[in-house]
Amino acid sequence: MLVRDAAYEILRAHGLTTIFGNPGSNELPFLAGMPEDFRYVLGLHEGAVVGMADGYSQVTGQPVLVNLHAASGTGNAMGALTNAVYSRSPLVLTAGQQVRPAIGGEAMLSNVDAAQLTRPLAGWSAEPACAADVPRSLAQAIFEARLRRRPSYLSVPYDDWTQEADPATLAVLGRAVERSAHPATEEVQRIAAAVQGAKNPLLVLGGDLDAAGLFDEATALAEALQAPVWAAPSLFRLPFPNRHPLFRGVLPAAITAVASAFEGHDLVLVLGAPVFRYHEYVPGDYAPAGTRLLQVTDDAEAAARAPFGEAVVTDPGAVIAGLRKALGDRSAPAPDYVAPPEPKAGDGSALHPDQVFAALRDTQPADTSYVVESTSTNSSWWRQMDLRRGGSYYFPASGGLGFGLPAAVGVALGQPGRPVTAVIGDGSANYGITGLWTAAQHRLPVTFVLLRNGTYGALQWFAGILDAADAPGTTVPGIDFTRIAAGYGVESVHAADADHLRSVLAETPSGPRLVQVDTVTTAPNG
């Protein structure tokens, strides 16, 4: 058996049969042997490749293979990798390396010091010391990604693939590595006692809960407790229905603002989130005196780096189940969902983002997965949307733009049958625009709503805060995305007004479509 055949057996055994990639010469000897039951999803830029793989991994919950070209392809992928780190997506990145005898002399396409290249983003990275160690190393890359819930990186010299595998090393083919992180009964009892003993407990729920399929369980827990719920700051997935009467919103990503939200609560229970992913730096006390914070996460690094509070590193799902049991059967009446306000109006020639999101809410199916990368429209979004199911919302987890458009492609590939709508700013779109081509090639029924305000709106808002209003480089006028879409083979339309937008969105797409709409610039908190 060749090293390459062993590699495909390992990938198949672990379910990595969809490969996202952009190949070069170093990768061809591997790809030449790709078996029939694998599919290769070609992306035209490595940022888009990783964004697609990230979306796919987030909806399937599984490791996904990413095939990059040497150091240059890896470099193009790095920005997108920052998002995969914070969404905890187990991507298995591989890059083709020059043949072994040529690496030291830095022949063209040598990946110099390859294992260092993706540090510190990749949780584990390596280049096998010899061809015989490639199968074991590939299995390790998969296990490392799964166990750490973090991307891993493997550089493989291309002369390795066609070497005969050492039969002894094929022992790795049958390996299974699973993590079981259930809390001890006493641990759950201790948390339950804290919650039941609290006068006014508050829940802070993170994106990890949605990733673990715990949206409904988290909702049931909050209802049993009748405790108010905030979503964790810098939210990348929604863990709770946003119009539920217990929902208070997404915590603002600043220390003092979070502390204010905790005012009057003697216990804050954080489930499935770091404490916390702040953004705007407003130093001060992390919490009011008298507020105890208890974090439950299976991310040991997130627990270790938190600046305050207690943490238990364990499976939040098991804790939720244990708490629900401890609380007994307190079935709450069906909640009255909070009605959205009237959308604000635009200025005649451009719509207010409220109007766009109200149109989405009223026209898109209730189970739509939204991938959002529009940074200045955050308040509008939560004001107008009504998301009641798990897997409804994806946002770039590190704030690295270029995720949204390709991730929508990956989400559609990973969950065929569930509608996907991407909401993308006219700034953000450019970082991942090549994803349109992949959507067209696969005829994916994704709606890309392009909000065109001609600005880097969020930057203009930030410029005000940072006393930098005269900073250059914050406008992006003159881009017609309908023509770009046409060039990539995606049907497109410019929605002239709110009624036109609604009638376009009401149609069920059979393939990808881009809907461009002019919007007024708003502030993320406005």
Q: Site residues (CB under 5 A) for Ca ion?
A: 425-427, 453, 457
Q: Which of residues 427-456 bind ligand TZD (CB under 6 A)?
A: 427-428, 431, 453, 455-456
Least separation in angstroms between residue 425's CB and Ca ion is: 4
Nearest-angstrom CA–CA distance, 444 and 433: 15
Helices 404-414 and 46-60 sit at what angle, rounded to 10 degrees?
A: 40
- Segment interacting with ligand TZD (CB under 6 A) among 36-44, 94-102, 303-311, 457-465: 457-465
Partner that binds at residue 93, options ligand TZD, Ca ion, none, CB closer than 5 to 8 Å by kind: none
Nearest partner of 79 among 462, 375, 432, judged by Cα: 432
- Segment interacting with ligand TZD (CB under 6 A) among 105-113, 187-195, 354-362, 393-401: 393-401
According to DSSP, the β-strands at 229-231 and 247-250 are parallel
Nearer to ligand TZD, 27 or 373 (CB): 373
Catalytic residue among 279, 301, 503, 526: 279
Residues 6+ apart with CB under 8 A from 356: 380, 423, 449, 451, 501, 517, 519
Nearer to Ca ion, 42 or 476 (CB): 476
Nearest partner of 66 among 28, 89, 94, judged by Cα: 94
Is there binding between residue 82 and ligand TZD (CB under 6 A)? Answer: no
Partner that binds at residue 459, options ligand TZD, Ca ion, none, CB closer than 5 to 8 Å by kind: ligand TZD
Least separation in angstroms between residue 52's CB and Ca ion is: 22
309 is catalytic: no
Nearest-angstrom CA–CA distance, 88 and 273: 11
27 is catalytic: yes
- Tokens 């810098």 -> residue: 234
Is there binding between residue 399 and ligand TZD (CB under 6 A)? Answer: yes
Is there binding between residue 355 and ligand TZD (CB under 6 A)? Answer: no
Catalytic residue among 43, 45, 46, 217: 46
Nearer to Ca ion, 396 or 425 (CB): 425
- Tokens 């804290």 -> residue: 194
Cβ contacts of 250-255, under 8 Å, gap ≥ 24: 250/378, 250/382, 251/204, 251/276, 252/525, 253/277, 253/278, 253/279, 253/280, 254/278, 254/279, 254/280, 254/281, 254/282, 255/281, 255/282, 255/283, 255/284, 255/285, 255/286
Count of CA atoms in the C-beta half-sphere (13 A) of 245? 8
Q: Widest CA span of the chain, in angstroms?
A: 72
Nearest-angstrom CA–CA distance, 226 and 222: 6
Q: Which of 87, 169, 364, 376 is close enough to bind ligand TZD by CB under 6 A?
A: 376
Nearer to ligand TZD, 317 or 425 (CB): 425
Phi, psi torsion values for 191, nearest 5 degrees: -70, -40
Nearer to ligand TZD, 146 or 452 (CB): 452
Is there binding between residue 520 and ligand TZD (CB under 6 A)? Answer: no
Q: Which of 76, 375, 384, 447 is close enough to bind ligand TZD by CB under 6 A?
A: 375
Report the catalytic residues: 24-25, 27, 46, 69, 279, 399
Which parts of this chain interact with ligand TZD (CB under 6 A)? 79, 374-377, 399-402, 425-428, 431, 453, 455-459
